[in-house]
């Protein structure tokens, strides 16, 4: 595994995507930084992090014969790699919040951004961006429901060791993905999905409130929510939120 460490960068995802345009990258090439100046999350949201406290990195993956229709399983593999690492570190009450946030209780500790390079009907490569709150203990008042490993466990964590463990688990899960072990990845993901089979209040993109229950993920990667009238609706990113 090749690791490129940078003291500061706008975005590790952007850096790695640009590098892939000018270089033939080894699979699992990783770029990590101590300070990310313009971190990005899902759908153009930002990711803010205190310098030298957290884990901010991106990993390059190359694929052969990986269909766009199977992209949800990549999300499962990546999310589970982080989840499994934190579970082994005994981080309490962790779950995966659809599509790929990692929570402890109801507080976010990790965000994931997957950017795919497409050709025809296939995903030829992907850049996986991961931001994990590790040793930061103070967060802006404007950010609610957020925590870090140190706040949860009361101790300092070695960021380099965490990075190695996450990439190790990622390699194992990508091997399952390439072996078409889709059922096992999906089952493991659904088993730790936040609020699955628990009656929950939701808000849709029209700010309408409704009661429902997460029951699964569609083949297109949408969240499946069962309503009180037994209908099952599907929602894309930003079309629904937990209240």
Question: Which run of H or of E encompasses 171?
Answer: helix 159-178
Tell me whether the omega of the peptide bond preceding residue 99 falls within 30 degrees of 0, making it cis. yes
The Cβ of residue 232 has, within 10 Å, a number of other Cβ atoms equal to 13
Q: Are residues 103 and 171 in the same domain?
A: yes
Asked if 31 and 73 sit in the same domain, the reply is yes
Q: Indicate the pairing of strand 94-97 with strand 122-132.
A: unpaired
pLDDT above 70 coverage of the chain, percent? 95
Average pLDDT over residues 65-83: 97
Are 216 and 111 found together in one domain? no
Pair 103, 163 in one domain: yes
CA distance 16 to 31: 7
Nearest Cα neighbor of 179 from 189, 169, 171, 187 is: 171
Model confidence at 138, pLDDT cuts 50, 70, 90, reads very high
3-state secondary structure of 167: helix
Average pLDDT over residues 163-190: 98
Domain shared by 41 and 69, yes or no: yes
The predicted pLDDT at position 144 comes to 84
Co-location of 187 and 204 in the same domain: no
The domain that contains 226 carries what CATH number? 2.30.30.100
Query: Does the pLDDT of residue 44 top 90, yes or no?
Result: no
Same domain, 72 and 127: yes
Burial of 88 (C-beta count, 10 Å sphere; 0-12/13-18/19+): exposed
**For position 9, which CATH number holds?**
3.30.930.10
pLDDT value, residue 48: 65
Q: Are residues 27 and 125 in the same domain?
A: yes
pLDDT at 46: 53
Same domain, 158 and 216: no
What is the Cα Rg of the chain in Å? 18
What single string gives the DSSP state of each residue in 125-144? EEEEEEEE--S-----TT--
pLDDT in the model for residue 37:
80
Rounded to a whole number, what is the distance in angstroms from the first to the last CA of the chain?
41
Residue 49's pLDDT is 78
Query: What are 17's two structure tokens?
Result: 């995507």
Give the pLDDT of residue 220: 92
- Tell me the pLDDT tens digit for each residue of 140-155: 888 889 999 999 999 9
Per the prediction, the chain carries an average pLDDT of: 94
pLDDT score recorded for residue 203: 96
* Residues 144 and 223 occupy one common structural domain: no
- The pLDDT assigned to 47 comes to 54
| CA dist., res. 48 & res. 90, Å (int) | 25
CA–CA distances in Å: residue 37 to residues 34, 50, 133, 186:
10, 10, 15, 34
Whether residue 182 is found in the same domain as residue 207: no
Whether pTM > 0.85 for this model: the answer is yes
Give yes or no for residue 73 having a pLDDT over 90: yes
Q: Residue 70, by phi and psi: left (phi above 0), alpha (psi -120 to 50) or beta?
A: alpha
CA distance 125 to 210: 38
Average pLDDT on 222-243 reads 95
What kind and span of H or E run contains 210?
A: strand 209-217
- What local confidence, expressed as pLDDT, does residue 41 receive? 52
Mark whether 139 and 101 lie in a shared domain. Answer: yes
Q: What is the pLDDT of residue 23?
A: 92
Q: Are strands 223-227 and 30-33 parallel, antiparallel or unpaired?
A: unpaired
Give the domain range for residue 114: 3-191
């Amino acid at each position: 595994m090749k690791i490129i460490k940078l003291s500061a960068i706008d975005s590790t995802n952007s850096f790695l995507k640009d590098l892939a345009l000018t270089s033939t990258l080894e699979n699992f090439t990783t770029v990590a930084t101590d300070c990310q100046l313009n971190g990005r999350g899902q759908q153009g949201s930002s990711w803010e992090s205190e310098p030298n406290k957290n884990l901010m990195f991106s990993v390059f993956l190359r694929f052969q014969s990986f269909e766009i229709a199977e992209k949800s399983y990549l999300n499962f593999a990546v999310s589970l790699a982080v989840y499994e690492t934190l579970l082994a570190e005994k981080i309490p009450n962790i779950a995966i919040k659809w599509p790929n946030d990692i929570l402890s209780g109801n507080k976010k500790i990790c965000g994931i951004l997957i950017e795919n390079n497409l050709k025809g009907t296939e995903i030829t490569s992907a850049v996986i961006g991961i931001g994990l709150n590790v040793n930061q203990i103070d967060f802006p008042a404007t950010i609610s429901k957020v925590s870090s490993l140190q706040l949860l466990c009361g101790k300092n964590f070695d960021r380099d060791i965490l990075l190695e463990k996450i990439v190790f688990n990622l390699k194992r899960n990508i091997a399952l993905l390439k072996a078409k072990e889709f059922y096992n990845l999906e089952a493991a993901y659904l088993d730790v999905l936040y609020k699955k089979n628990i009656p929950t209040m939701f808000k849709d993109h029209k700010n309408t409130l409704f009661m429902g229950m997460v029951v699964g993920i569609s083949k297109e990667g949408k969240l499946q929510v069962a309503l009180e009238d037994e209908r099952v609706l599907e929602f894309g990113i930003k079309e629904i939120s937990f209240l």
